[in-house]
Amino acid sequence: MPDPSPLSRRALLRSAAALSSGSPIIGGRGAASAAPRRKGVARTASYLTPRVLVLNYDPIIESKGGKRLNVLLGFNDPRTLCDAYIGDVRSCSGGYVRYNVVDWRDLDIHPVKKDGFRYTDESFLSMWRGDRSKHHEPDAIDYKAIIGQFDIERRVEAGDVDEVWLFSPPFSGTWESTMAGKGAYFCNSDPVPGVNTSRNFVIMGFNPERGVGEMLEDLGHRTESILRRVYGSWNDKELKHAWDRFTAIDKNVPGRSGVGNVHFAPNSTKDYEWGNKTYVLSGADDWLNYPKLTGKKRRMNASDWGNGDIRAHHRWWLERLPKAPGRGPDGKLANWWSYVVDFNRYKESDGSQNAKPR
């Protein structure tokens, strides 16, 4: 989903001045630095360090004593969310993915939409405190404008940035995740058109009104899209390959469930039903042994993945995502985190294949 807003004249002038001078807009943390061009993200023998540009759309509301929008509306602090998300990803990946925020921009503007509309502080607050069903349509952020405004194509091409995280208010029009670049493909949304980087990159959309659990859900859907591409299909009823078996749920294949998917735990009967107390036989824990699966199953219910808590379930799900060295018996990487985060490095996930499963 997308997110935007019109700005005050003073904010627009501040933004334009900062961009023309090449400096960050209010609170930039670090500047673009030259780096050797590379295909994949920076890595050591044991972990990845993806470089992240964070764009935090959090306008200063002059009419409310200069408070930031997030403070005024009681939303979460994006820095606190960011740190917790980075910590959860590092933990769930067994220390393999260690995000590095190389540039943080606190922006005194609302993001622009595809039709050129931008909320002002006043128009956003009026919509938020009134009839929210009358928010601006089309509700779609202008990714191309943002990519151009912050010189993201050049930074990605140079290897200075591997992915972009957008924190923006509700109704900004962001997708949970979207991919851009010459070989970009469906990543929980259609790719951003007209971006010419030789390396693909993902733009994550985070809403500070929500919590870390929702951020992990965004990552989970990104994971589903990329693994679907890696395996060429996704059918958790026929169980043709490892990804199908990982995501299997008892509702579809009784007695043969795996870990499930982002919306469905092994025993779920409907979307978001992570608190179901019904026991089912599941091999979810066996995926901690991948690729040396034993076939062992046990009875499980919501008490195993947090009794309905979104963050607890998504951590449980991501912890079981394979992260072993080498390749599995199917020839795919035994560490699926590499596909999710370092997708440019591998032919299965870099966008070069002709088939584009959806």
Per-residue pLDDT tens for 180-213?
Answer: 999 999 999 999 999 999 999 999 999 999 999 9
10 Å Cβ neighbour count for 114? 16
pLDDT at 38: 55
Backbone angles phi, psi at 217, to 5 degrees: -65, -40
Token pair listed for 167: 């924190």
DSSP codes of every residue in 52-112: EEEEEE--EEGGGTTEEHHHHTTPPPHHHHHHHHHHHHHHHTTT-B--EEEEEEEESSPPP
Query: Which residue among 210, 234, 264 closes a domain?
Result: 210
Report, in angstroms and rounded to the nearest whole number, the Rg of the chain calculated over CA atoms.
21
Average pLDDT on 164-170 reads 98
The reply to whether 243 and 282 lie within a common domain is yes
The reply to whether 16 and 51 lie within a common domain is yes
Residue 67 falls inside a structural domain: yes
Average pLDDT score over the chain: 90
Residue 355 falls inside a structural domain: no
Q: Angle formed by the axes of helices 310-319 and 212-231, to 10°? A: 30
Name the percent of the chain lying above pLDDT 70: 87
Is pLDDT larger for residue 355 or for residue 119? Answer: 119
Residue 357 falls inside a structural domain: no
pLDDT at 223: 98
The reply to whether 182 and 268 lie within a common domain is no
The reply to whether 236 and 203 lie within a common domain is no
Contacts 24+ apart (CB under 8 A), 320-323: 320/246, 320/259, 320/284, 320/285, 320/287, 320/288, 321/92, 321/93, 321/223, 321/246, 321/287, 322/246, 322/287, 322/290, 322/291, 323/93, 323/94, 323/96
Q: Angle formed by the axes of helices 310-319 and 78-92, to 10°? A: 30
The reply to whether 131 and 195 lie within a common domain is yes
Question: Exposed, middle or buried: residue 67 (CB in 10 Å: 0-12, 13-18, 19+)?
Answer: middle
Residue 259 falls inside a structural domain: yes
Query: Which residue among 178, 210, 242 closes a domain?
Result: 210
**Contact by Cβ (8 Å): 280, 264:** no
Task: Return the SS3 of 294.
Answer: coil
pLDDT at position 151 over 60? yes
Question: Rounded CA gap, 330 and 130, in Å?
Answer: 55
Cα separation values, 233 from 147, 239, 240, 261, Å = 31, 10, 9, 15
Question: Rounded CA gap, 71 and 317, in Å?
Answer: 32
Residue 154 falls inside a structural domain: yes
What pTM did the predictor assign? 0.88
Residue 221 falls inside a structural domain: no
Q: Tens of pLDDT along 285-324?
A: 999 999 999 999 999 999 999 999 999 999 999 999 999 9
Q: Tens of pLDDT along 46-56?
A: 999 999 999 99
DSSP state, residue 345: G
**Contact by Cβ (8 Å): 298, 285:** yes
Average pLDDT on 38-48 reads 88
Q: Tens of pLDDT along 12-21?
A: 333 333 333 3
The reply to whether 166 and 234 lie within a common domain is no
pLDDT at position 127 over 80? yes
**Contact by Cβ (8 Å): 153, 196:** yes
The reply to whether 112 and 78 lie within a common domain is yes
DSSP codes of every residue in 188-242: SSPPBTT---SS-EEEEEE-TTS-HHHHHHHHHHHHHHHHHHHHS---TTT--SH
**Contact by Cβ (8 Å): 220, 317:** yes
The reply to whether 201 and 258 lie within a common domain is no
pLDDT at 351: 86
pLDDT at position 149 over 70? yes
pLDDT band (50, 70, 90) for residue 39: confident
pLDDT at 21: 30
Residue 137 falls inside a structural domain: yes
Residue 289 falls inside a structural domain: yes
The reply to whether 134 and 202 lie within a common domain is yes
> How would you label 174-188 residue by residue, b for 16+ Cβ within 10 Å and e otherwise?
bbbbbbbbebbbbbb
pLDDT at position 335 over 80? yes
Question: Rounded CA gap, 185 and 333, in Å?
Answer: 20
The reply to whether 233 and 150 lie within a common domain is no
Token pair listed for 118: 């931008």
Query: Which residue among 180, 210, 240 closes a domain?
Result: 210
The reply to whether 46 and 122 lie within a common domain is yes
Residue range of the domain that includes 16: 9-210
pLDDT at position 26 over 70? no
10 Å Cβ neighbour count for 318? 23
Count of structural domains, the chain: 2
The reply to whether 230 and 206 lie within a common domain is no
